Amino acid sequence: MMALKMHKPIPTVDFTYIGQIVLILLGLYLISAAFSYLQQYIMAGVAQKTVYNSKEVDEKLSLLPLKFFDARTHGEILSRINGQQLFELSVKVLTTLKIFLVIYGKFILPQIRN
């Protein structure tokens, strides 16, 4: 009422702009949910592979004679198992990095230089 008496425009609320913001936020939320689901799906696969690999390790350890376990401590045996798994993981990471660098060097760098 005061704005009318002072001949100033009455402020209004732009509901279409608010609606656009709500839709954008809803879209971002849905994208976030999709990526969260994908992450959980991948982690479930990783967990299953880890359990499967641990079963393989257990089978290999069961083939060793008792003399092997008597001569070594638990920590030494676990260190060997984890060391081998760490080595395999590092090889996979380095291979992935190498592939990325080759792709980056062949396709992305020439486009940046031009």
What confidence tier does 77 reach under pLDDT thresholds 50, 70, 90? Answer: confident
Check: CB of residue 96 under 8 Å from CB of residue 90. no
Residue with tokens 């990471």: 93
Token pair, residue 76, equals: 């030494």
Q: What is the pTM of this model?
A: 0.45
Residue 93 and residue 61: Cα distance in Å, rounded?
26
Q: What are phi and psi of 26, to 5 degrees?
A: -65, -45
Using an 8 Å Cβ cutoff, are 101 and 93 in contact?
no
Distance CA 57, CA 73 (A): 17
Model confidence at 11, in pLDDT bands (50, 70, 90)? Answer: confident
